[in-house]
Structure 1
Amino acid sequence: MLKKIVPILLILIYLTGFLLSFTYIFDNLFGAEKLESIRNIFEYGIMFCSFLVFNAFLFKNKYTSVIAVILCLLLSINFLISVSCFFIYHSGFNVGMAISILESNVNEAISMSYMFILPGILFFIFFGLLLYSVNYLKKSVIKFDIKFFIIALLWLLMPFAFYFKHRYVSNKGGGRMIKNVYYHLTDFGIALDIQKDINALKNVPKFDVKKIQPGIENVILIIGESERKQNMSLYGYDKKTTPYTDQQAENMMIFDHAVSPAGITNLSVPLMLSSIHPDEFRYHYEKLSYNIINLANQSGYNSFWLSTQASARGITAIASMAKNKKWVNGYDEVIVPELKNVIQKKQDKFIILHIMGSHPNPCNRLPANWNSGDLNCYDSSIKYTDYVFNNIFRTLKNTNSVVIYASDHGLKIKGDKLLHIDSKESTQVPFFVWFGDKVPAKYRITGHETKLTQTTYIYPLIMKYMGLETPQHYKNEENKYLDLNMSSMEYNQLPE
């Protein structure tokens, strides 16, 4: 009896993983579209049962059983993605997360491994139950007859049926193979297409811009990582997390209500550095060529990209356009000597510093001798970033330099978890401009900007500091947001 219960339990576990990634299907079970949700659950249940029968046939031969194990392993990874998103991010999976996985690196994966302990345990349980069920079906249920052969092929045939229905019946003229037992496959397919398009950016556009006055000698953009303005004393946090930056407040333009254009680095940074609009991002990636680095190169500035973050394809596609590029190993403070070397050059320079900041896991962003005091790891990582800023400000104090700082995105806090999700809370970021002593008075505008400002404003702001004529209107005025499903939306429609 117990042996028969295991495959039934496994089907329920599989469908649970499916619903964790497509929560709207579960929600609709209690609404007007409950029949549609029931149909979806039934269809995925049929495909999974067919998958079990198919692999049971493969298990009958020692050679084809290897293929079955591989198929089961891949499906278990599919399940791992679902439970990881649920337990870590409290959300379903999407294209944005697929891009993050594809652009991840070994160091980043290791630093976040502690978050995957429970999902990892569930992965091994699912994988074990899957192999047990397939083996049980092979021995006790599956027979070599036409009925079982037809059932075994359903999981391969049904996706094509869904595709043709979507293309020629429900949505004539377009559509993808939208249903598959590996239900995350479509997201990864879209993410790979996006990477391919971004990596193909080789054309260098001709910018139609006018130089109207001499620019600042050193225009420096610091791109932070996962820093919440809510946790910075510069913005009123009750813990002293930014003591050095606080002291510089009178020498800065501080944007009190800055928001990011997206919730993850791979979307927000390209939107900040290029003139591409969120409406265009999914279908016109070639417009990423119209970025601030190519503009600097054509405006008489020598461009530099200095980073303590490991290479990521989407961002590196833009970084590769800099005339000088260097990825430095170590904690963020190692970027300061690199900056010192660069500013010795007597020429106009545009320098991007891409730092690790408070990237998860924030505990790993701190040197061993760093004194966190009574701060938790996240707040301490912000204080460490402030320490790095102090060294940068001291380096540039007696120079004709402007430093623009903004975090790529913020984070939403739920309990003890820091989440990358679409919400207003996780878009609130620090954004300020600091001036060296030799910056001309016409550029030195300090104080507080109180209106809502999207960090895509960085693009025309840099144009201004380079002495270029800025556009009368820019995309930051619309405050469009690119969500994790790669859809553009009005910022005010974001949940809190």
Structure 2
Amino acid sequence: MLKKVKSFISDIQGVFFLFLFSQGFPFLFYVWNNYHNKGVGYISEFEKMLTGLIPVLGIFLGIGLIGYILSKKHYKKILYFLIILNFIFNGIELGVYLNFAIQIVPEFFYIVFETNKNEALEFVGSYCNWHLYIVLVYFLLGIIIYKSRDKFKGVLSRIFLFTIIPLIVYSSNIEGSLYMKKTHIFKSMYRSIKRYRGEMEDLKNIDSSFGKTYNKFTAINNEKEATYVLIIGESFNRNHSSLYGYKRDTQPYLDSQVKSGNLYVFKDVISPHYFTRETLKKLVTTTAWDNKIKFSNSINLVDIMKKAGFKTYWLSNQEDFAFKGASLSSVIHRADEVEFTESYYSDTKDKLMDEALLPLVDKISRDKNRKKFIVIHLFGSHREYIKRYPKEFTRYNLNECPSFFSEIQKRNKEMVNAYDNSIYYNDFIIKNIITKLEKTNPNMAVLYLSDHGQSLGEKIDYFGNLDPNREPSGVEIPFMIWTSDTYKINNRSIIENIKESENKPYISEDIIYTLVNLYNVNFSKEQENKSIINKNFKEKRRVVTERNETYEELRGKNEENPNV
């Protein structure tokens, strides 16, 4: 037996080194990048690397030894299969790390499985950049080692090979996460897919669960007629809105509404996540980090408004989440009328602009029902920004480079200008929604907010959804309430509460309690301390990460270390 083990060790050296490289290259890259570019202590990160590396190497050797004893002829085929999987999984994770500054998380699979072909191609195209050459180098080195595996038995050749990693890091500047996971890629993939599949299974029971919850609350509205609207924007960085002090007039209509006294702008509101899916689930239900209510056991906004006597509508310029089992769809389809501008399987050449929603708004405005509640989900400023607005809304030339741009933004001026144009177009969309609906029902209130923010090269060379650990702008969102003159006359006390609340800190996961106050709904499960426009409102910890960190903590950390 001992001779077989010695023979196995001698025979497997080249294969073992190939596997070690497939797992070690990404881990060493993360450690060295965090140390070199972010100033993170390498000892603790190296310990994390070993924690994730040792178990998978042990399993690999164990499988190899058993295979060697049972079938010396075929055992390497099994090992090479494991190596190929390792390269594929680690290559995916390395690509995610390079572009999104995180390692694989379950949300990555939600995005992949719930996006249509057109949006997927657009998304991939947005992130095809020079960073991905590092992934290609990773695969290329793996092929070289495989072709020359018998030559990589010497210590010096291995040391030489691994010097390539610090050289790559030194010649680049990757905005990596400060938190390296301890788990190896197989475990990360398993946990992520398991969580996703678990939610798909839960979906089967959610509709019946909502049906039971519907009978456990009361909601009363005594108005004879009213139109209440919730507009959900997409990827809106409030720091690019003129309403929040931006040096460009990106929202002229909404600025005019502030001056006329119809629009109230809340200055310090954040989202609970920096991606759409999980944020939306909290926007339209009573689920929040501090109440431990499961989504399937929560009360949803659509049911509240239906019970209060409103006809409910859901309009969306995003895909129907139902086709991939997202539980959010179960809330959407509880509305009386649901309209999507394009189905999940619609793979038209270009994504429709948000103006595609306006004919649907016209249709609702002609509905004779006197009490309406409407949710409108925009595509907003989703990447790619230049595809989010018609050419006639090019207010800022793509080559403009104003002095207030950061150095990173000046290098990426086309992207920043395109983003600002998308915000200008967003102002046009909001204006049309309000004016079309107010014509048929003057007693009207609208709450607009974005699902999450967007990193736009303020301090970090990155454009897109970014972990708030790296850039807090990923959760800094616009939040505003528009009211008609008739609504203001009928609801003077609510208007006073709104005026007194514009500077209070808030997190959008509690918006359902603000909405029932704004919409004059007497809700039996109301929590006054969670409505920002209620006199009994109380500030709470605004948690925005899986690590139970608050926005204030991350903001302070970011200000202390601008390179974080």
Which TM-score bucket, shorter chain as reference? Answer: 0.7 to 0.9
Q: Which of 362, 386, 392 in structure 2 is aligned with 1:363?
A: 386
The one-letter code matched in structure 1 to 2:361 is L
Tell me the distance in 2 between the aligned counterparts of 1:37 and 1:178: 8
The aligned counterpart of 1:391 is: 432
**CA separation of 1:49/1:359 partners in 2, compared to 1, >3 Å: closer, same or farther?**
farther
Look up the SS of the partner of 2:288 in the other structure. Answer: coil
User: Quick check: 92-101 or 18-27, which moved more?
Assistant: 18-27
Tell me the distance in 2 between the aligned counterparts of 1:397 and 1:466: 16
Tell me the distance in 1 between the aligned counterparts of 2:285 and 2:304: 9
Tell me the distance in 1 between the aligned counterparts of 2:233 and 2:197: 26
1:441 aligns with 2:489: yes
CA displacement 1:212-239 (0-9 Å, x = unmatched): 6327621110101110111100111001
Q: Which of 314, 331, 336 in structure 1 is aligned with 2:353?
A: 331
Tell me the distance in 2 between the aligned counterparts of 1:59 and 1:370: 68
User: Quick check: 209-218 or 354-363, which moved more?
Assistant: 209-218
Tell me the distance in 1 between the aligned counterparts of 2:339 and 2:95: 33
Look up the SS of the partner of 1:304 in the other structure. Answer: strand
Tell me the distance in 1 between the aligned counterparts of 2:200 and 2:487: 39
**CA separation of 1:36/1:326 partners in 2, compared to 1, >3 Å: closer, same or farther?**
closer
- Note if contact 2:96-2:103 (Cα within 8 Å) is conserved in structure 1: yes
- Note if contact 1:271-1:278 (Cα within 8 Å) is conserved in structure 2: no
Q: Within 5 A, what are the aligned runs for 1:77-92?
A: 77-92=88-103
Tell me the distance in 2 between the aligned counterparts of 1:284 and 1:440: 36
The aligned counterpart of 1:221 is: 230
Tell me the distance in 2 between the aligned counterparts of 1:219 and 1:428: 25
Unaligned runs of 5+ in 1: 142-176
Q: Within 5 A, what are the aligned runs for 1:183-198?
A: 183-198=188-203
Shift of 1:93: 2.6
Tell me the distance in 2 between the aligned counterparts of 1:22 and 1:298: 54
User: Quick check: 462-471 or 21-30, which moved more?
Assistant: 21-30
Tell me the distance in 2 between the aligned counterparts of 1:229 and 1:263: 14
The aligned counterpart of 2:515 is: 462
- Note if contact 2:22-2:86 (Cα within 8 Å) is conserved in structure 1: no
Q: Which of 418, 426, 429 in structure 1 is aligned with 2:464?
A: 418
Q: Which of 249, 254, 259 in structure 2 is aligned with 1:245?
A: 254
The aligned counterpart of 1:286 is: 296
The aligned counterpart of 1:309 is: 318
User: Quick check: 214-223 or 470-479, which moved more?
Assistant: 470-479
The one-letter code matched in structure 2 to 1:325 is V
CA displacement 1:339-372 (0-9 Å, x = unmatched): 1111222221111101111112222212344424
Q: Which of 407, 410, 414 in structure 1 is aligned with 2:450?
A: 407
Shift of 1:197: 2.4
The aligned counterpart of 1:494 is: 554
User: Quick check: 82-91 or 94-103, which moved more?
Assistant: 94-103
CA displacement 1:140-163 (0-9 Å, x = unmatched): 99xxxxxxxxxxxxxxxxxxxxxx
With structure 2 as the length reference, what TM-score do the two structures score? 0.69
Shift of 1:435: 1.8
The one-letter code matched in structure 1 to 2:514 is L
User: Quick check: 310-319 or 21-30, which moved more?
Assistant: 21-30
The aligned counterpart of 1:116 is: 128
Tell me the distance in 1 between the aligned counterparts of 2:307 and 2:509: 20
Look up the SS of the partner of 2:355 in the other structure. Answer: helix
The aligned counterpart of 2:376 is: 353
The aligned counterpart of 2:333 is: 320
1:432 aligns with 2:480: yes
Tell me the distance in 2 between the aligned counterparts of 1:193 and 1:214: 42
Look up the SS of the partner of 2:206 in the other structure. Answer: coil
Q: Which of 217, 239, 246 in structure 2 is aligned with 1:208?
A: 217
**CA separation of 1:235/1:54 partners in 2, compared to 1, >3 Å: closer, same or farther?**
farther
Look up the SS of the partner of 1:494 in the other structure. Answer: helix
Shift of 1:134: 5.6
Tell me the distance in 2 between the aligned counterparts of 1:306 and 1:9: 52
- Note if contact 2:288-2:509 (Cα within 8 Å) is conserved in structure 1: no
Look up the SS of the partner of 1:221 in the other structure. Answer: strand
**CA separation of 1:186/1:365 partners in 2, compared to 1, >3 Å: closer, same or farther?**
same
Q: Which of 37, 50, 55 in structure 2 is aligned with 1:38?
A: 50
- Note if contact 2:445-2:481 (Cα within 8 Å) is conserved in structure 1: yes
Shift of 1:462: 2.2
- Note if contact 1:264-1:409 (Cα within 8 Å) is conserved in structure 2: yes
The one-letter code matched in structure 1 to 2:373 is F
Look up the SS of the partner of 2:431 in the other structure. Answer: helix
Shift of 1:433: 1.0
CA displacement 1:149-194 (0-9 Å, x = unmatched): xxxxxxxxxxxxxxxxxxxxxxxxxxxx965646432222223323
Q: Which of 510, 528, 533 in structure 2 is aligned with 1:472?
A: 528
Q: Which of 325, 346, 365 in structure 2 is aligned with 1:343?
A: 365
The aligned counterpart of 1:146 is: none
- Note if contact 2:231-2:448 (Cα within 8 Å) is conserved in structure 1: yes
The aligned counterpart of 1:99 is: 110
Tell me the distance in 2 between the aligned counterparts of 1:58 and 1:345: 74
Tell me the distance in 2 between the aligned counterparts of 1:10 and 1:68: 9
- Note if contact 1:112-1:361 (Cα within 8 Å) is conserved in structure 2: yes
**CA separation of 1:17/1:332 partners in 2, compared to 1, >3 Å: closer, same or farther?**
same
Q: How many residues align?
A: 452
Look up the SS of the partner of 1:184 in the other structure. Answer: helix
User: Quick check: 101-110 or 119-128, which moved more?
Assistant: 119-128
Look up the SS of the partner of 1:116 in the other structure. Answer: coil
